[in-house]
């Protein structure tokens, strides 16, 4: 059970797909014009990723390793077609909004990456946990990025106006350059946070274990 939770939670922060692994950037940049399309795309990927991880993990014993990539692609393509048809039936406006990027989930690096790196080597329940965690992380990131871009670029959040009256939308944010800009700034902020965390941990470790070098603080002073 511990292992299950560990695989589930690693996708939420430690290996957050778009911002830590930098995988699957095509939908991250292209369909996050609004929070709702980001959320829709994230849910579609969550569905495909969890099921493809489960199926690939089930059949991992019988796929010859030479043709495994083709098999993985076939499995995920089947699931993507299912998602596409479901979307057309039950969420047609969202389908129109996402356009070509729904079929393109097949070639999303995260799907193949998790299949190759995790599902093909682990039992079913862990593969499902991995797919769920990664998918949730992906959905979260896309909704977050979509929210930032929609609020700044259109003044709305999930279609509801949230900023003051007379706000002039910063419309470069909902265009292609805005996606790169936002992604870069988020990555910079995350790297800055991680860097500070590490240096604080180092300082604490140095404070806890003194007198190793006769009480000299030179190395911790340098690090700070």
Partner 1 sequence: MSNPGNSDILLAISTPPFWHCGRTIPKHSLHTLLALAPAALLSILQWGVPAVRVMALAVLTALVTEAVCQTLMKRKLTQDNGTAAITGLLLAFLLPASAPWWLVALGSACAIGIGRMAFGGYGANQVSATLVGWALIFVSFPAFMDPTSSLLQTSLFDPLLRIKYFGSAAAADLSLTDLLLGRQLGGLGAAQSGALLLGGLYLVLRGVVRWEIPLAFLLGVLAAASALHLMNGALYAGPLVHLASGSTVLAAFFLATEDSCSPHRRIPMLCYGLIGGVLVMLIRTFGIYTDGAPFAVMLINLLAPLFTLIRSRPFGARPGWKNKAAAEQRRTEA
Burial letters for 178-203: b for 16+ Cβ neighbours within 10 Å, e otherwise? bbeebbeebeeeeeeeeeeeeeeeee
177 binds partner 1 (CB under 8 A): yes
Number of residues that bind partner 1 (CB under 8 A): 11
Q: CB neighbours (10 Å) of residue 6?
A: 14
Q: Does 171 bind partner 1 (CB under 8 A)?
A: yes
Decide whether 103 or 169 has the Cβ nearer to partner 1: 169
Smallest distance from partner 1 to CB 145, Å: 17
Q: How many helices (H) and strands (E) does the chain have?
A: 9, 2
Binding of partner 1 at residue 4 (CB under 8 A)? no
Work out how close the CB of 32 gets to partner 1 at its nearest, in angstroms, rounded to a whole number: 17
Least Å distance, CB 190 to partner 1, is: 15
Report the nearest approach of partner 1 to the CB of residue 171 (Å).
5
DSSP run (H or E) holding 184: helix 176-208
Round to whole Å and give the CA distance between 39 and 146: 8
In the complex, the smallest distance separating the C-beta of residue 161 from partner 1, rounded to whole angstroms, is 18
Residue number with CB closer to partner 1 (168 or 222)? 168
CA quadruple 19, 25, 28, 29: dihedral sign: positive
Q: Are 106 and 81 in contact (CB under 8 A)?
A: no
Span of 51-59, 88-96, 177-185, 207-215 interacting with partner 1 by CB under 8 A:
177-185
Question: Among 3, 175, 219, 221, which residue interacts with partner 1 (rule: CB under 8 A)?
Answer: 175
């Amino acid at each position: 059970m511990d292992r299950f939770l560990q695989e589930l939670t690693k996708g939420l922060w430690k290996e957050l797909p778009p911002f830590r692994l930098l995988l699957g950037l095509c939908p991250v940049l292209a369909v996050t014009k609004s929070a709702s399309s980001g959320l829709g795309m994230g849910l579609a990927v969550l569905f495909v990723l969890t099921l493809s991880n489960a199926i690939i993990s089930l059949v991992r014993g019988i796929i010859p390793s030479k043709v495994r990539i083709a098999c993985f692609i076939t499995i995920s393509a089947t699931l993507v077609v299912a998602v596409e048809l479901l979307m057309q039936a039950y969420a047609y406006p969202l389908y129109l909004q996402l356009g070509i990027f729904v079929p393109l989930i097949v070639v999303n690096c995260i799907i193949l990456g998790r299949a190759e790196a995790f599902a093909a080597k682990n039992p079913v329940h862990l593969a499902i946990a991995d797919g769920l965690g990664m998918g949730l992380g992906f959905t979260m990131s896309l909704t977050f990025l979509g929210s930032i871009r929609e609020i700044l670029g259109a003044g709305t959040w999930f279609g509801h106006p949230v900023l003051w009256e007379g706000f002039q939308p910063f419309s470069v944010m909902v265009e292609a350059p805005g996606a790169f800009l936002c992604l870069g700034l988020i990555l910079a902020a995350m790297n800055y946070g991680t860097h500070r965390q590490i240096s604080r941990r180092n300082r604490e470790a140095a404070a806890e274990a003194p007198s190793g070098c006769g009480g000299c603080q030179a190395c911790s002073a340098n690090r700070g």
